[in-house]
């Protein structure tokens, strides 16, 4: 913890993320009206009218409200899809690394099957087939992002299972499952946590890209949708694309900073030295 706190970038990231989370949580209190509601004249620039700090979009909707409600979608999609990806990737990688042999072969070929398809293309196809909905988007993102988790966990388990403490556990008569989940996986947690924090960032980007292409959930305001909708008016009202863009940038940056800070804190030997 102290090692994490010593990293200034990571603290900044954490601060930004906390702000985003707070805005998302208190969105209904800040903006009781739906973000889809047309409240003013369209194309109001930021700070032009009281109560519309970020102006209005092409249809006269409040950009600030959209931004805050969009944060909810981004965070939910990011967290849930990462959790699902971990739920698929960790057990698969762990079993492949622990048992080896044909289980490993099978699991890794299956993983490669997903890795050979460009992940964004696969996500588009999945969302298009399943119909754009928050659940299907989250699921699609999870499905394209678990393979690296499986590979990482497999590599960690492969190196850990040769340790003498695993032999000792075996000699104690522990079952394979208890050795794997009680002794090996807890020791593999730190790289998984680091990877998960970066995966949340990637998931947010994926969701925004999908919404930008019009494959977002049509009932939910998201950052990607806002950029996509403002794309046609970028020369007359650039701020409509710029503001949600900055929101995505800051959130993703914050998550990356946190991931790096966690990495330095959890793997002190690999931390950049002497600087």
Partner 1 sequence: MSTALSIHDLAIALPAGADRAFAVRNISFDLQEREILCVVGESGSGKSMTANALMGLLPDLVHVTEGAAVFEGRDLFSLPDSARRALRGDRIGMIFQEPMSALNPLMRIGDQIAEVYEAHNRFTPAERKERALSLIGEVGLPDPEKIIRAYPFQLSGGQRQRAMIAMALALDPAILIADEPTTALDVTTQAQILELIKTIQQRHGMAVMFITHDFGVVAEIADRVIVMRYGDIVEQGSAAQVLEAPQHDYTRALLAAIPSDSVPEPHPVTTAPVLEVRDLRKTYVTSGGLFKPTRSVTAIDGVSFTVARGEVLGIVGESGSGKSTVGRAIVRLVEPDSGQILLDGEDMNALTPQQLRHARRRVQMIFQDPYASLNPRKKILSAISEGPITQGVPVAEAHARARELLDTVGLEASAAERFPHEFSGGQRQRIGIARALAMDPDLIIADEAVSALDVSIQAQVLELLRDLQQRLGLSLLFITHDLRVAAQLCDRIAVMQRGKLVEIGPVSDVFLTPKAEYTRNLLAAVPGADWGNRAATAS
Residue 273 in the binding site for partner 1 (CB under 8 A):
yes
CB of 165 to partner 1, least distance (A): 4
CB of 159 to partner 1, least distance (A): 11
One residue of 32, 51, 101, 274 binding partner 1 per CB under 8 A: 274
CB of 260 to partner 1, least distance (A): 19
Cα–Cα nearest to 139, from 154, 161, 122, 151:
122
Cα–Cα nearest to 82, from 2, 171, 197:
197
Nearer to partner 1 (CB atom), residue 133 or residue 170? 170
Write the CA distances from 196 to 154, 156, 157, 200, 258, integer angstroms.
15, 15, 17, 6, 11
Q: Which two tokens stand for residue 200?
A: 């949340």
CB of 126 to partner 1, least distance (A): 37
Residue 262, Cβ density class (10 Å: 0-12 exposed, 13-18 middle, ≥19 buried): buried
Residues between 153 and 192 with contacts to partner 1, criterion CB under 8 A:
163-165, 167-175, 178, 183, 186-187
Write the CA distances from 180 to 156, 202, 266, 275, integer angstroms.
12, 29, 21, 38
Nearer to partner 1 (CB atom), residue 41 or residue 178? 178
Nearer to partner 1 (CB atom), residue 169 or residue 229? 169
CB of 3 to partner 1, least distance (A): 11
Give the residues lining the site for partner 1 (CB under 8 A): 163-165, 167-175, 178, 183, 186-187, 273-274
């Amino acid at each position: 913890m102290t090692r994490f706190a010593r990293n200034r970038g990571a603290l900044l990231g954490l601060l930004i993320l906390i702000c985003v989370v707070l805005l998302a949580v208190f969105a209904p209190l800040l903006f009781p009206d739906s973000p889809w509601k047309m409240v003013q004249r369209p194309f109001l620039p930021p700070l032009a009218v009281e109560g519309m700090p970020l102006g209005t979009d092409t249809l006269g909707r409040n950009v600030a409200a959209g931004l805050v409600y969009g944060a909810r979608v981004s965070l939910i999609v990011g967290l849930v899809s990462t959790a699902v990806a971990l739920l698929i990737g960790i057990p698969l990688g762990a079993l492949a690394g622990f048992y080896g042999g044909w289980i490993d072969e099978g699991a890794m070929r299956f993983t490669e099957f997903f890795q050979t398809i460009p992940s964004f293309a696969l996500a588009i196809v999945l969302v298009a087939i399943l119909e754009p909905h928050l659940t299907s988007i989250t699921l699609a993102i999870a499905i394209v992002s678990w393979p690296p988790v499986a590979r990482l966990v497999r590599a960690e388990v492969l190196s850990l299972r040769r340790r003498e403490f695993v032999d000792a556990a075996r000699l104690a008569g522990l079952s394979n499952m208890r050795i794997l989940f009680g002794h090996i996986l807890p020791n593999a947690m730190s790289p998984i946590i680091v990877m998960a924090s970066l995966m949340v960032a990637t998931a947010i980007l994926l969701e925004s890209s999908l919404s930008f292409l019009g494959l977002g959930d049509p009932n939910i305001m998201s950052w990607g949708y806002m950029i996509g909708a403002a794309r046609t008016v970028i020369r007359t009202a650039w701020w409509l694309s710029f503001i949600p863009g900055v929101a995505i940038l800051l959130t993703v940056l914050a998550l990356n900073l946190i991931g790096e800070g966690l990495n330095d804190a959890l793997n002190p030997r690999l931390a950049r030295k002497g600087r």
